Amino acid sequence: MAQIPKIARERIANDMYEAAILHEKKGKKSRNYLGMSEIGKPCGRALWYNFRGFDPLEIPGRILMLFRFGDRIEDEVIKYLNLAGYPVEGQQDGFVDLNGLFRGHCDGIVSNVTSRKHILEVKSANTKKFKMFQSKGVKKTYPVYHYQAQCYMGYSGLDRTLFVVQCKDTSEIYTERVYFYKSEFEMLKERARTIIGANEPPAMINNDFECRWCNQVLNCKHQERAIVSNHVCGTCYYLEFVPGLKPFCCHPHHHFGIKRWGVGCPDWINMWEKEPIKIKKLKVEDRKTDERFND
């Protein structure tokens, strides 16, 4: 049996990884909001950079393939839940709050678990992580999932979530019910409000493990080396949030509230631009009182 030379095998794999990156970039839509799926992450600073639109580190193609594999597992789990008599509806139902800047989408709403409907969250895990879910439960194994579910329950009016975790190595399934805790929901909502309305990045958490895997570590710790390619309001020197979580442009030529979050204009200047800046921003207190907005 003829063997492909090692260098050719590596080239094929690397070409596929690169294709995954290009495919992801081509189909990716800009996320102009803070996601409920990540609000439970420990570092508010990283969440702030993501929300504002600062460029994250590029995700390797192999990891992107792993994410897409997880998406396929979600589809399969929902298919078999339906076949087993647990009908799933409302897939990707959306929840929106805080002027549209805090959003989330659940995997569905499942019936027949008990007499009450449950939010459905489907996850996948390797064998090691799967055993942790079995022995410690969702909240201790992956707190972000637990807090994600609290948001979905809080906004949907349901008080239970069914987690279905499938092992990627063996197809074994673990299920767990999580209940709604209003105090946690209110805490998460307030955290989102604080992050969205902050005009400066929150303080660093200085957690070596979290920082090692963070996609915003370059913007966070090495602003002088980071390139800001996303020229939108969130990364602009002229942006300020005013009370009520309303984004406001402090450029003297268009000193008005921002209606469409996540767009830019020709007057964009990097938030971290070094002095001198020719056109200084005005103070929020001097803002116009009319109702004109950007389009």
Q: Domain-by-domain residue ranges, the chain?
A: 32-197, 228-295
Only one residue has tokens 């631009």, namely 273
In angstroms, the CA 216 to CA 204 distance is 12
The angle subtended at Cα 226 by Cα 222 and Cα 227, nearest 5°, is 170
Q: Does domain 32-197 have CATH number 3.40.50.9100?
A: no
Copy the structure tokens of residue 36.
């409920």
Q: Kindly give the residue spans of alpha helices, DSSP state H, lying in 177-290.
A: 182-197, 208-212, 217-221
Would you give the DSSP letter of residue 292? -
| Distance separating alpha carbons of residues 62 and 175, to the nearest angstrom | 28
Residues whose CB falls within 8 Å of the CB of residue 286, separated by 6 or more in sequence, listed in order: 255
CB-based contacts of 185: which residues, under 8 Å, 6+ apart? Answer: 150, 151, 153, 154
Contact 137, 110 (CB under 8 A): no
CA distances from 118 to 1, 39, 58 (A): 54, 21, 35
Q: What does the pLDDT read at residue 294?
A: 45
| The pLDDT value given to residue 2 | 56
Distance of CA 230 to the CA centre of its chain: 17
Q: How far apart are CA 130 and CA 138, in angstroms?
A: 10
> Do 119 and 154 meet the contact criterion of CB atoms below 8 Å apart?
no
On whether the CB atoms of residues 238 and 280 are closer than 8 A, the answer is no
* pLDDT at residue 27 in the model: 64
Give, for all 295 residues of the chain, the pLDDT tens digit: 557 777 777 788 888 888 887 887 776 666 789 999 999 999 999 999 999 999 888 878 888 888 888 788 899 999 999 999 999 998 877 999 999 999 999 999 999 999 999 999 999 999 999 999 999 999 999 999 999 999 999 999 999 999 999 999 999 999 999 999 999 999 999 999 999 999 999 999 877 778 888 889 889 888 878 889 999 999 999 999 988 899 999 999 888 888 888 888 899 999 988 878 888 888 777 665 444 444 4
Query: Could you tell me where the DSSP H helices lie in the chain?
Result: 6-27, 44-52, 61-83, 127-136, 138-141, 143-156, 182-197, 208-212, 217-221
